[in-house]
Amino acid sequence: MSFDPATLTYNDAGLIPAIAQDAQSGEVLMMAWMNAESVAKTLETGQVTYWSRSRQEFWVKGATSGNTQTLVDFRVDCDRDCLLLEVDQAGPACHTGRRTCFYTAVRNGEEVEIEMPMADQPSA
């Protein structure tokens, strides 16, 4: 593979922000972080693999919950310091059970919940 994850720009902790967007609906699902090795793993496996800052370990999205993100397209921004992942999201992306993590809006100065948790899904 000639794309080299080392050519991306990482922060002082060696991380780059990665935005996950539903490839079909265009909904922005979440933002998390990757290091160079998780970028490589994501491209190699096709399963989105973040770096967990709290656990300091690889985080294969959905490995325990089943709510996987299968990579559809991998994009790099003009500054090479942010990633956009087009994904096929299984079930909710958010740990609260909502499709997206961005379920709170600020409207007229007040926080409003604009999305409810998804109903429990039968497992595939």
**Can you give the binding site for a second copy, defined by CB under 8 A?**
1-3, 17, 19, 21, 25-28, 30-31, 43, 73-79, 82, 84, 94-96, 98, 101-107, 109-111, 114
Q: Considering the complex, what minimum distance in angstroms separates the CB of residue 90 from a second copy? A: 18
Q: What DSSP element (H or E) covers 24? A: none
Q: Considering the complex, what minimum distance in angstroms separates the CB of residue 32 from a second copy? A: 9
Q: Considering the complex, what minimum distance in angstroms separates the CB of residue 109 from a second copy? A: 3
Q: Considering the complex, what minimum distance in angstroms separates the CB of residue 100 from a second copy? A: 8
- For residue 116, the one-letter residue type is M
* Angle at alpha carbon of residue 87, lines to 65 and 14, rounded to 5°: 80
What does each C-alpha distance from 108 to 102, 103, 105, 113 come to in angstroms? Answer: 17, 16, 10, 13
Nearer to a second copy, 43 or 60 (CB): 43
Paired tokens of 84: 């956009």
Nearer to a second copy, 79 or 120 (CB): 79
Residue partners of 38: CB distance under 8 A and separation at least 6: 49, 50, 51, 58, 59
Nearer to a second copy, 114 or 116 (CB): 114
Whether 49 and 23 have beta carbons less than 8 Å apart is answered as no
Nearer to a second copy, 36 or 76 (CB): 76
